Amino acid sequence: MSVKELALFAGQGGGIYGSMILGWNTVAYVEKNKYCQKVLRQRMQDGWFDNGEIYDDITEFNANHAHKYRGLIDVITGGFPCQPHSVAGKREGASDERYLWCEIEKTIEIVRPERLFFENVRGLLSDAAIIDVCRIIEGLGYQLSAPLLLGSDDCGNIHERKRVWIYATDPAQQPRNACGTETTQHKKQSASESRNSNQQFSNARIRSFEQLLSESNVPEPVFCGMDDELPDRRQQLTAIGNGQDPIVMATAYRILSGEFL
């Protein structure tokens, strides 16, 4: 049975590709950036992402829609806003207007999933806000694992892109043992399902560059012979900078959930 995900702060879907590697089904997306919404819709239309509602704002989602997903969601994920914690910013933490943990807390309370899986920049670990994050999660009755620092370089890439990964489970909903890890039989089943999912991902969804070029709807470049046109360039760079590395996301989840043990 597929894991059902509610993706908060979904961006243009870097983390969703990680969910695909894990074999999850993304039921709904919360993302306020209009360009990222456009990308998510296009990926659904292309058949890459699961069809689901895209909600514009987490505050409005909590007020009017979150209740519809109670009992339907296995895991809430999200790369929550990093600006309050980034070493490149003012590091105002919980004082920053972009600090949205109060809204994330509401989402968790309303939806009450079995698992929580969040991501942020490494600066979170040296910010007092990490205490607030952990306090809120544990105050809601979840069993919190130690945060994991894992980056792209740890997963075979040439750039670092270190990220903090936060994982927690609800003991009251666990179809697993007391440590939050799966039973041996279930782990074998999950590993088999994961391999099958990865194979399907490779066979059914990845199209070669040559195939893309052969399609009639791919326009010829008109600017200096470049294949990448100028429209949305700034939005693209911003979305990529904020996005998750899919392989790192999937690897971090497998480590924290005990699938690699």
Cα 176 from Cα 163, distance rounded (Å): 27
Please list the active-site residues: 82
Instruction: Please tell me the pTM assigned to this model.
Output: 0.73
pLDDT digits (tens, 9 = 90+) for 148-165: 999 889 988 887 888 899
pLDDT digits (tens, 9 = 90+) for 192-237: 554 454 444 444 443 444 454 455 554 554 444 444 444 555 555 5
Cα 148 from Cα 256, distance rounded (Å): 8
The residue among 76, 75, 99, 77 whose CA lies nearest residue 86 is 99
| C-alpha count within 13 angstroms, C-beta hemisphere, residue 201 | 19
